[in-house]
Amino acid sequence: MNSAIGATTIVNGDCTVVRFSTANYAPRERFAAWRDIYGRTLQRLDIEPLSTRQFNAEATLLKMPGLALMAGRRSASIYNRRREFIDHDDVGFTCGLTSNYQAHQFGRTLDMERGHAIVMTGAEPAFLRVPKLGNYINLRVPVRYLSPLIRDLDAAYGRSVPAENPALQLLTRYISILQEAETFGVPELRTRVVAHIHDLIALAIGATRDAAEVARNRGARAARLRAIKEDIVTWLDQPNLSVATIATRHRVQPRWVQRLFESEGTTFTAFLLAQRLD
Residue 141 confidence (pLDDT): 97
In order, the DSSP letters of 11-66 are EETTEEEEEEEGGGS-GGGHHHHIIIIIIIIII--EEEES--TT--EEEEEEEETT
Read off the pLDDT of residues 234-273 as tens digits, 9 standing for 90 and up: 888 888 888 888 888 888 788 888 888 887 788 888 888 8
Is the pLDDT score of 5 beyond 60?
no
Residue 6 confidence (pLDDT): 62
Read off the pLDDT of residues 121-174 as tens digits, 9 standing for 90 and up: 999 999 999 999 999 999 999 999 999 999 999 999 999 999 999 999 999 999
Buried b (16+ CB within 10 A) or exposed e, 45-59: bbbebeeeeebebbb
Please tell me the distance from the alpha carbon of residue 45 to that of residue 47, in angstroms, as a whole number: 7
pLDDT tier for residue 3 given thresholds of 50, 70 and 90: very low
Is the pLDDT score of 11 beyond 70?
yes
- Averaged pLDDT, 107-117: 95
Handedness of CA 113, 115, 120, 126 (dihedral sign): positive
